[in-house]
A and B are shown apart, each in its own frame.
Chain A
């Protein structure tokens, strides 16, 4: 294969990854790693570097729109970024001592978990009574809906913070945004309305990914010739996705995608178990 063929194929693949990633809310990174390793037989370390860039591109691109709408809770994001960035740095450090096959198995497991999380019931209710910690940290806020501003309060700040640290470690170790874990912390544990938790999670992914990306860049995980089609493809795909999202019913797509992702996850785990990475 020549470099040109590889670039064009990867560009198309990354475009689809960004498109599907933004339609389902899973982000581009989770598709980039299996695409590069299983289809193009690229070493998983290059795939992780590329996925981190895809996560940053996706997050910054989408966050620029959400932040302006005032849905994102910037204080909450900033507070939880302490947990995710520390986790991400720890993850990037552990990565050196983790065999690539173990990384593949971990990645597959997180993928299965993310697919399940995407399909579960969402928390729409705004909590009326918050915990003292949430009050002290000024985490309670409000967000615009069709029926006007809705105030929400939150609880279990400590537990949410802990899950965020774990999300950061996985993000640093595997190069993904760990959006599913972030939403689990905010949505299920801290009881934040779904719309706020997804946009705030997305807002944080860029900073979390950047925390480990600088380490991986220095280690040579980011190859220019892989980064080029991945960054451009994912960005264009995510942009198309954001335009399509209001006009199509993403529900069916979600089921199809999650089934497909589950198969990919099993293959990653299987290959990792058989030491194929």
Chain B
């Protein structure tokens, strides 16, 4: 039991290790997806002229909703796959909040269960609150 002299309770230490792994896994997974989509994109349209990025067209470029991105990626559309990787990247720190919540529940730390829930609600408000306008 090498953790016996640790400053923290065992659960705290375990959750730290777990969060570390989860963050790494998320980053690696998202970069693999982005790489796959990127290679496909370059093979298909690498020789084409660059789009006019001086002008911002926003949503009209497509792949801005979860549905569009998911069906685009399943349909093996290069941009859809890249955006799926982007979604996995954005989801990585959000998932980290979930896992911290579980950690605090295991430790029965009521104050931090509450604090984590507040952060999660802000996040959910940002995702589903229709703030895009």
Q: Spell out A's residues near B (CB within 8 Å).
A: 1-4, 6-7, 40-43, 45-46, 53, 56-57, 59-61, 63-65, 67-68, 70, 72, 74-75, 78-79, 81-82, 85-86, 88-89, 92-93, 96, 137-138, 141-142, 149, 206-207, 209-215, 217-229, 231-232, 235
How far does the Cβ of A186 sit from chain B's closest Cβ, in whole Å? 17
Tally of contact residues, B, Cβ under 8 A: 72
- Contact between A228 and B20 (Cβ–Cβ < 8 Å)? no
The proximity string for B residues 14-49 relative to A, scoring 1 for CB distances below 8 Å and 0 otherwise, is 011101110110110011001101100110011111
CB proximity of B125 to chain A, nearest CB, Å: 7
CB < 8 Å neighbour of A82 from B59, B79, B86, B118: B118
Known: A2-B48, A210-B123. A68 touches B87 (CB 8 A): no
B64 and A220 within 8 A (CB) = yes
- Residue in A closest to B83 when the chains form the complex, CB atoms: A224
5 nearest A-B pairs in the assembled complex, by CB-CB distance? A206-B93, A220-B58, A4-B46, A228-B38, A68-B20
Question: Which among B15, B20, B80, B132 is the interface contact of A215 at CB below 8 angstroms?
Answer: B132
> Are B86 and A224 in contact, with the CB atoms below 8 A?
yes
Contacts A74-B19, A206-B23 aside, 20 further interface pairs with beta carbons under 8 A come to A1-B49, A3-B41, A3-B45, A3-B47, A6-B50, A42-B53, A45-B56, A59-B93, A61-B27, A64-B27, A78-B100, A81-B119, A138-B112, A206-B96, A207-B119, A214-B90, A214-B123, A217-B64, A224-B86, A231-B34
Query: How far, in whole Å, are A240 and B53 apart by their CA atoms in the complex?
Result: 30
A86:B122 contact, CB within 8 angstroms: yes
**Cα–Cα, bound, A215→B33 (Å):** 22
Instruction: List the B side residues contacting A81 at CB < 8 Å.
Output: 97, 119
Q: How many angstroms from the CA of A79 to the CA of B54 in the assembled complex? A: 40
A210 adjacent to B38 (CB under 8 Å):
no
Chain A residues lying within 8 Å of B41, measured Cβ to Cβ, are: 3, 224-225, 228
Shortest C-beta distance, A222 to chain B (Å), equals: 6
In chain A, what residue has the closest Cβ to B125? A89
Contact: B50 with A1, CB < 8 Å?
Answer: yes
A168 to chain B: closest residue by CB? B122
Q: Which residue of A lies closest to B7 (CB)?
A: A142
Shortest Cβ distance from A211 into B: residue? B126
Do A78 and B24 touch across chains, with their CB atoms under 8 A apart? no
Min distance, Cβ A80 to any Cβ of chain B, angstroms: 10
Known contacts A56-B92, A218-B65, A2 near B46 by CB under 8 Å: yes
Tell me whether B133 is interfacial, beta carbon within 8 Å. yes
Residues of B within 8 A of A68 (CB): 16-17, 20
Given contacts A1-B50, A4-B42, A75-B112, contact A85 B89 (CB under 8 A): no
Q: List 9 A-B contacts (CB under 8 A).
A: A3-B48, A7-B38, A7-B46, A74-B100, A206-B23, A214-B90, A214-B127, A220-B58, A225-B41
Q: Is the CB of B112 within 8 A of A89?
A: no
Once the chains are docked, how many angstroms separate the CA of A246 from the CA of B87? Answer: 32
CA distance A215 to B82 in the complex (A): 18
Q: Which residues of A contact B30 (CB under 8 A)?
A: 57, 231
Q: In the bound complex, do residue A215 and residue B48 qualify as a contact, i.e. CB atoms below 8 Å apart?
A: no
Asked whether A224 and B50 contact (CB < 8 A) given A7-B42, A78-B115, A229-B38, the answer is no
